Amino acid sequence: MDSEALRKYSALHPKPAGLTLQYGTAGFRSKAEQLDHIVFRMGLLAVLRSKAVAATIGIMVTASHNPEEDNGVKLVDPLGEMLHPSWEEYATQLANAEEQELQKVITEICQKAAVNLHKDASVFIGRDTRPSSEKLSQSVIDGIQVLGGQYHDYGLVTTPQLHYMVCCQNTQGQYGKATLEGYYEKLSKAFMELIKQSTKSHCSGESQRHLKIDCANGIGALKLSEMKPYFPQEVLIHIYNDGTKEKLNHLCGADFVKVHQKPPRGLDMKPNEKCCSFDGDADRIVYYYEDTAGHFHLIDGDKIATLISIFLKELLAKVKQDFKMAVVQTAYANGNSTRYLEETLKVPVHCVKTGVKHLHHKAQEFDVGVYFEANGHGTVLFSKAAETKIRQLVKEEKDDEKREAAKMLENMIDLINQTVGDAVSDMLVIEAILALKGLTVQQWDALYADLPNRLLKVQVADRRVIDTTDAERRALTPPGLQDKIDALVKKYKLSRAFVRPSGTEDVVRIYAEADTQENADALAHEVSLAVFHLAGGKGAPPK
């Protein structure tokens, strides 16, 4: 390691005094002007990680659905998955080290993680459209070069596209070609093959093929426009909030629509028109429409998972293989979605702690694992064994119906981005399924009615006083809190409630659902009062 170069470059990316940041599920996120030293050091870390695993590592500069003035950075592991938890700790140590300790911390990481500094390193870089992203990705490059790593800068890409590139590179092209063209070709080909099969089943009306897309004034608009030439004429997508006029994520995007339960600014909705929103880095998607009475209907991650599960379950039944399928949710999933999946569809549902990495990990246990967070981030994972078997059936199966079903499954495998939730890929999966099943957005919405629910948060002195169990559905501490919640829940029909500490700030998040909105609101309020009194609330009690 060239300590002189490290000292020189580190001085160009100084750490502001007294700033400490934590590497979490979303990597580092903060105001853009606080991140220069962080991204430089993540360039260093990406090189170390690459040397440790002898593979290409990804580094993405984005703050997803945060406001435009924020930014962030996260690392992508070799198969397109999130950074290994033990390395999240190294990331935090390296980010917060004082300048003069930097070399020492690098040496410690090398010892702990058995990194051989003489090995080659390769890093793929991507960034979103924020004004601060280009300069920050230059700082990443400084970090990579100081430790002698090779890099390829993809420039402007969606987060899922970078995950895809990293996976293609490290599977020697088995997952696909590590270029944007490769991504567009693979997805559009699988989509067209699927849609081709839909003309055999139903001819869905012209109006059903129109889709209005709110791209959150972010990278999604840019990449979707690039992808348009790859689609046949039948695909009628209309891009709104393309970033030419307004600010990223401002009053638009998947997060805004989900939280405020209303349409984004900049998209004119007519009754019963099918619409969807991406988030700022295009790894989440939600659908919605307004009915003729002017009521807004949100179709969130739970309903997306349900639609995909119905489709996959039918195909799996046709290929007659003993594949294990399951849906993975968090405690935030609407109770009626869980009921519908378990009781009507008869698909096993597993609940895990909040956070994509927990969902992804659990979904890997099945031949077909569907996971979505209610916020619209999700995908489907196929086991190696299931994928191999399906591809074999396409080639060898004599029975027409079985072979056709296997062909559809094969196209689904190619259309879904298995590395991470991907708004573009998920949108194409949904559009293909709606066309194949001849469903309108209203019929999809009508599969089940969401139970009314309410999310609240309570400020507390220290969020660590709350400890949870059973995938965050029950509180272990403080004493008496869970008993109180149980008693409150008993007062209302079809109700449940849970509390969990935030991962990032001293607040406790409260979720409640019940048979009516009034009851869900009342239950959430009563639980928030219990939290305030038993878990050290700050300020005035919740009103």
Is the predicted pLDDT of residue 264 greater than 80, yes or no?
yes
Bridge partners (DSSP) listed for residue 287:
276, 299
Q: Say whether 501 counts as a known binding-site residue.
A: yes
Is the predicted pLDDT of residue 204 greater than 60, yes or no?
no
- Alpha carbon 224 to chain centroid, angstroms: 18
Q: In what order do the strands lie in the sheet with 507-513?
A: 453-459, 507-513, 496-501
Q: Say whether 521 counts as a known binding-site residue.
A: no
Is the predicted pLDDT of residue 251 greater than 70, yes or no?
yes
Supply the CATH classification number for the domain 453-535.
Answer: 3.30.310.50
| CB 376, CB 284: distance < 8 Å | yes
Query: What percentage of the chain reaches a pLDDT higher than 90?
Result: 89
Instruction: Kindly report, residue by residue over 292-321, the tens digit of the pLDDT.
Output: 999 999 999 999 999 999 999 999 999 999
Give the burial string for 261-296 (b: 16+ CB within 10 Å, else e): eebbebbebeeebbbbbbbbbbbbbbbbbbeeeeee
- CA–CA dist 223, 431 (Å, integer): 18
- CA–CA dist 349, 340 (Å, integer): 10
| CB 240, CB 267: distance < 8 Å | yes
Instruction: Kindly report, residue by residue over 445-469, the tens digit of the pLDDT.
Output: 999 999 999 999 999 999 899 999 9
Mean pLDDT, rounded, for 139-145: 97
Q: Say whether 445 counts as a known binding-site residue.
A: no
Mean pLDDT, rounded, for 178-184: 97
Bridge partners (DSSP) listed for residue 3:
none
What's the whole-model pTM score? Answer: 0.94
Mean pLDDT, rounded, for 515-537: 95
Is the predicted pLDDT of residue 535 greater than 60, yes or no?
yes
| CB 369, CB 363: distance < 8 Å | yes
Q: Say whether 279 counts as a known binding-site residue.
A: yes
- Looking at the annotation, which residues are catalytic? 64
543 pLDDT band, cuts 50/70/90, is confident
Q: Widest CA span of the chain, in angstroms?
A: 71
Q: Say whether 122 counts as a known binding-site residue.
A: no
Q: What is the pLDDT of residue 2?
A: 84
> HSE on the CB side for 207, CA within 13 Å?
9
Average confidence score pLDDT of the chain: 94
Q: Say whether 374 counts as a known binding-site residue.
A: yes
Q: What are the respective helix, strand and coil percentages of the chain, to the nearest 5?
A: 45, 20, 35
231 pLDDT band, cuts 50/70/90, is confident
- CA–CA dist 461, 472 (Å, integer): 20
Mean pLDDT, rounded, for 108-127: 96
200 pLDDT band, cuts 50/70/90, is low
Q: Say whether 450 counts as a known binding-site residue.
A: no
Q: What is the pLDDT of residue 106?
A: 96
Q: Which two tokens stand for residue 183?
A: 């991504």
Domain locations in the chain as residue ranges: 3-156, 183-283, 301-446, 453-535
Q: Say whether 127 counts as a known binding-site residue.
A: no
155 pLDDT band, cuts 50/70/90, is very high
Q: Say whether 504 counts as a known binding-site residue.
A: yes
521 pLDDT band, cuts 50/70/90, is very high
Q: Say whether 486 counts as a known binding-site residue.
A: no
Q: What is the pLDDT of residue 198?
A: 67
Domain 3-156, CATH class in plain words: alpha beta
| CB 222, CB 128: distance < 8 Å | no
What would be the CATH architecture of the domain defined by 301-446? Answer: 3-Layer(aba) Sandwich (3.40)
Q: Rounded to the nearest 5°, which phi and psi values hold at 203?
A: -95, 100
Instruction: Kindly report, residue by residue over 364-421, the tens digit of the pLDDT.
Output: 999 999 999 999 999 999 999 999 999 999 999 999 999 999 999 999 999 999 999 9
Is the predicted pLDDT of residue 202 greater than 60, yes or no?
no
